[in-house]
Each structure stands twice: as structure tokens, then as C-alpha cells.
Chains A and B, each alone.
Chain A
Amino acid sequence: MPELTSQKIPVTVLTGYLGAGKTTLLNRILSENHGKKYAVIVNEFGEIGIDNDLIIGADEEIFEMNNGCICCTVRGDLVRILDGLMKRKGKFDAIIVETTGLADPAPVAQTFFVDEDVQKNARLDAVVTVADAKWLSDRLKDAPEAKNQIAFADVIVLNKTDLVTKAELAEVEARIRGINPYAKLHRTERCQVALSDVLERGAFDLDRILEIEPEFLEAGDGHDHDHHHDHDHDGHHDHGHSHSGLKHYHDEEMQSLSLRSDKPLDATKFMPWLQNLVASEGQKILRSKGILAFSDDDDRYVFQGVHMMLEGDHQRAWKDGEPRESRLIFIGRELPEQTIRDGFERCITT
């Protein structure tokens, strides 16, 4: 039975590598005068400078589910804490989960797909990743956790932009976009971002999977016309090239893949294909989402997934004049691009 999402408590996952500024953002959210009360689940007590009886310390406990799916892990501590917090329903408006700097966001997100009780009471709002403009490029090379957090993000707060030059900023943004072109990116100093840009995003709301267009790099105020044509073949084998001042990187390990068709899909072929794809390649696929137009179906179908877990539903009727176009994105590690493209092609009706 579908429940109104508005009755469920929104949960924002706040992630970011060590020292990027998660606590700064958290302190801002808690101290700003917005009239809302947040319950906060933190991994490190004492860093929060605000007295609040709804700050809960947690040890990140990653539990495997006994369902034969090895990448299906959940945050056991979160299951327990959310259950306890629900006893105080009405005392807070939203929940923020701060992960450790080395955390993989997937188990947190998967907790919301797997646990029935969590699903009944709370909804995942968005994964917000705070990144350090000065050090992220280095971390993307040496810390797989940092790359995961960027790939998984719905919102990226690129912090400490005052500590880098324009060229360095363009460089780090290009690297972020090489991994995840879909997240909303905000450049900040001391995490000065409008809270409406990080909270209440509805990024996991099936009804709001509307904008899956990549966020193209804005030229920005500085609009530098220095045409880098550097193909830097450092140890990481990433290729940079630039068009009209904007650098583009293709991260060889982590990338995104978008598929599109203006011909309707055959649901009897597409659904098994998608399910097989996430069952066999789910470890590599971090996030997936799509808006689908099926033949003989007047409704839009939307889906999203985290690793092997998928959820989908008919969303609404296609509007008159609205192009019935199917669009899918996958973000993942070493995605078998050609296999995915070929498989998708076979689901298109001819």
C-alpha cells in the first residue's frame, strides 16, 4: 500500500572524506534559524558544538543480509537507531546521518531499500557529499572511498574553494564530472551553501526522478579561456581534454553511462534484462535510475536502484505532446558499457 511520502521522515546522508567539512556543514544546519528540528546520527561524539538531545552517536555496523547477495549490506546500527527515534516521532522534522570519512554510502542507502520498518517510517532524501577543493583530486587517485562518495552523491558541496586557484577549481570540478555528471554541485567556502540546496532534495523520490540530465559545467564567474590541452597520463590513466575552456575527464575506473531511446521499450524484454543486469553486474553499478516509455503503456515508468536493489513504479500518464522517450543512467565502476548498450538495444521495439 503506497503511503504518502510527506508522512515519512526525510533522511539526509552526509558523507565526505576526512577533513572535507562535514562537521562544519552539520553545525551550520543545526545552528541556523530555520525553525526545523533535526535528529542527527553522528559517528564522532563531541565534534558537534550544539547541545541537542537528538544527537545520537553510532558505530557504523555493516551487516550482510542473508539473501545470497554479497553486496547487499545494511547499516545495522541505523536500523536500530531509526527504530528508537521513531518513538519520538513529532519531536523532529528530519534526520541527518553523518558517515565516517572512509564510509561507503551504499549500505546506508540500501538500509532504506531492505528494511520494512525503516521504509514505513522514513525515506532517504539525498546523499550529500562534502568535498575538499584542495585535496579531492589527490584523494580520487589514492582513496577509493573518496571516489565512491563522489559517484554516489546527489548533491556535492565543493568546499574550501577559497584555498585553490581558478585553474585548480576547474580541474577538480572536471574530475568530479568525469565520475558523476548528474549530481548538483555547489562551490562553497566554509560550507556556505543554502540549506535548501542540501536538504529536502527528494533525490530518491521516484516522482522526482525528472532531472536526469547531466549537470553541465557552468562556465562560472571566472570563465577562464585558458585552453588546457593536457592529456595527463599520470599513474591513474585519466584523459583530460577540454572544449571551450572546460576540461573533461574520463575516469577509467568510475564512470557514468547514459542510454536513451525515442522508440518505446518492450516491457517483457526490458524488465528481465534490467533485473539480470543488476543481479550480475550489481557490484559494479553504484546507482541507476531511469524514466521509461513502454509500448502499449500510456504511463511513464520510473525506477531507481542501488547496486542490486531496484524499485520502480508507474509514475503518471505521459502528457500530450510530451516526447515519449526512455532515458536511463548508470554510475559505476568498470561498467561493461558495450554489453549494457547492446542489451538495452535489444529491448527497443522495432
Chain B
Amino acid sequence: MKEFDPGESASIVSVTDRVRPLAIGMPVTAVHFLGESAAFVGAEENVFLVSGQGEISPVAVHSGGILCAASDGSRIVMGGDDGKLVAFSAKGEVTLLATDPKRRWIDNTALHPDGAVAWSAGKTAFVRSGKGEEKSFDVPSTVGGLAFAPKGLRLAVAHYNGVTLWFPNMAAKPEFLEWAGSHLGVIFSPDNKFLVTAMHEPALHGWRLADNRHMRMSGYPGRVRSLSWSAGGKALATSGADAVIMWPFASKDGPMGKEPAMLAPLQARVSMVACHPKQDILAAGYSDGTILMVRLSDGAEILVRRNGTAPVSALAWNAKGTLLAFAAEDGDAGLLAL
């Protein structure tokens, strides 16, 4: 892997000429790397698999809207408004994992490193273990988000007024973390010490899992839709403001009583964030189509994509951190090799 240096010059360094443009031609809502291939998840029906040579192959995965997608690096699992949960492999193979008998929407999905998959339809969360054993659990209101804890088989189910921590393999009563309001996304810190939700109102809420102490992270002008842990989980990068908001999580108190860092402010709303997997660098996409790479230590910026297009809707690094893939809502996409 080559190192790159954002440089010291006052005018912004640009790598826009090194981006390989990709015309997906359809609205894109997410991108994940499967090995060295970037898989762009369309808003409906297709995944567009892009090889290292830039060839785009569309693969039909759903007969309707694709509502959620999660990846563990070897497969992407997606839920659709056709009531189906499917897996997509790096070879472009599609496997049907589950079908909702009432054709309800599959709103959320999550993957566990040991092969377990979770999904939800309405108020019911489902888990299928790596061995194929399936269990389900109902929460009081529609599931807003799902996340597996990094250790053990524990599923966080976000819903109205809090998060339920469910242990599918244990008889123990699920743990309920209460906080008033609608929780629409949920994420564990990589060290398993904190749980953070993105709320319907423009705020995050967090719990320190050791003692369930609350952490309020508010002040956003818009709803937070994109969250990404920096390398090593030292900070949580977030969208929703006209700068990348970075909450410090390096100490045992997390962001309690601390101010967040604000990086790469522009005259546009940050729509997507993706932290580099190994270095203290992140990529940020904005509502005006701009994409910047930002060094966390000093906020130095490199321009990856110019403004003046649809909002950036998908942004991801490959596992090694040598490739950055992105797409705007209108399907105008690109790949950058570092």
C-alpha cells in the first residue's frame, strides 16, 4: 500500500484526475467492496458489480426497491420491498435467504463475523446463525435498526423509545436501553464498550454498556444517516452537518463532557462518511456532490470529486484501504486507487 500525503499547500490538492468514472446509470444507495470488486447497490432491483478493470455488470437481486444492505466483506445481504432477503457474493451469485410469508418489507439487515445474519420485518427481528438455526424476537414498535455486537451473539434492535439487546442463544431476558424518541440506526463501538443510535430527530444517542450511562450527541442541523468508526475505533465520524462531526471515543468516558471535532466544513451538508480502515484519514461526501479525503490529525483536505451534482449517497473503502468507491444519488459513480 502506498502512503499518500495531503501536502501543505494552501490551495486544495486534487486527485480528481485519478478517479476512474463509472456510469451506473441508476440511483445508487450504497457501495461495498467484495475483495477488490466494488458492488454498487441500486435503489431498486440491481447490484452493479464493478471489476478492477472498470467493467460494470448489473445483477438482478430484488424485484422492487432495495431497502437495506450490509456486508462482511465476502458477501452483501440485502432486504427488499418484495419481502425477500438475499445474499450477493463476489462472484455475482445471488442466494435467497428468506422470504417474508406476508411479503412485508425487509427494512433492516446486519451481518455477524461468524456468518450469522439478522433482518427485520415490521416489529419482528430475525436471526439465523451460521449453522442455519433461526430465531425471532418482537419489539414494541417497528424495528429502526439492527447491529451485531463485535463479540458473542448479541443483537441490538433499535426501535421507538430505545434499544433492546437480544441474546438469541441465551435464555436471559433481553436488556432494554431506554431513551425517548425514535431510533433509526444503531452501531456498536469496535471495542464493544459503547452503543450509539441515530435518531429520527437530528441527534445521536449513546450508552456506555458497562453502566448504561447516557451520552447525548446533538446539535446537528439534519438527521444523521451515515456513521463510521475511525481506525481503531478512536472516534465516530458522522454526517448531518455542514462539516464532518467527529465524536471522541478513545477514553473510557467516550464523548461524555467533550466537544466533537469538526472537519472539512463546506457550504453543503455532509451526506456520507467513510473512515479509512487503517490510517487516520476519512472520506466525506456532501449534498452538493463534493467528495473530500480528510486527515484526522490536522484536517488537511484532498479533493476527490467536484461539487455541482446530486448528493453523494454511497462511499466505501476496500479492506486494505487502497481503493475508494463512491456514487451520487443519480448513479454517477467512481473508483479511486491510492
Contact = CB atoms under 8 A, between A and B. Distances in A.
Given A84-B67, A87-B65, A88-B44, A61 B29 contact: no
Interface stretch (B90-98, B100-108, B169-177): B100-108
Contacts of A268: none
Contact of B142 (A74, A76, A116): A76
Interface residues of B, number: 29
A57 B107 CA distance: 13
A79 B142 CA distance: 12
Interface stretch (A5-13, A62-70, A270-278): A62-70
Per DSSP, chain A at the interface is mixed
A2 to B, nearest CB: 16
Contacts of B222: 116
Given A56-B105, A57-B104, A67-B201, A116 B223 contact: yes
Nearest to A55: B103
B129 to A, nearest CB: 27
B65 A85 contact: yes
Contact of B160 (A76, A85, A88): A76
B286 to A, nearest CB: 15
B208 interface: no
Interface residues of A, number: 26
B104 A66 contact: no
A66 B181 contact: yes
Nearest to B68: A84
A311 interface: no
B64 interface: yes
A79 B160 CA distance: 13
A209 to B, nearest CB: 28
Given A63-B200, A87-B29, A117-B223, A76 B182 contact: yes
A115 B44 CA distance: 23
Contacts of A67: 201
A80 B182 CA distance: 11
Given A56-B105, A63-B182, A84-B107, A79 B200 contact: yes
Interface string A227-252: 00000000000000000000000000
User: Which among B43, B102, B200 has the greatest number of chain A C-beta atoms within 10 A?
Assistant: B200
B81 A88 contact: yes
Contacts of A115: 200
A47 interface: no
Contact of A59 (B122, B181, B201): B122
A216 interface: no
B64 A80 contact: no
Given A53-B64, A61-B141, A80-B107, A87 B200 contact: no
A84 B108 CA distance: 11
Contact of B43 (A76, A77, A87): A87
Contacts of B64: 53, 88
Interface string B240-262: 00000000000000000000000
B273 to A, nearest CB: 18
A59 B142 contact: yes
A77 B160 CA distance: 11
A135 interface: no
A116 B105 CA distance: 23
B66 interface: yes
Interface string A110-151: 000001110000000000000000000000000000000000
A122 B142 CA distance: 22
Interface of B: 27, 29, 43-44, 64-67, 81-82, 102, 104-105, 107, 122-123, 141-142, 144, 160, 180-182, 184, 199-201, 222-223
Nearest first, the 5 A-B pairs at minimum CB distance are A87-B65, A87-B43, A88-B65, A66-B181, A63-B182
Interface of A: 45, 53, 56-57, 59, 61, 63-67, 74, 76-77, 79-81, 84-85, 87-89, 91, 115-117
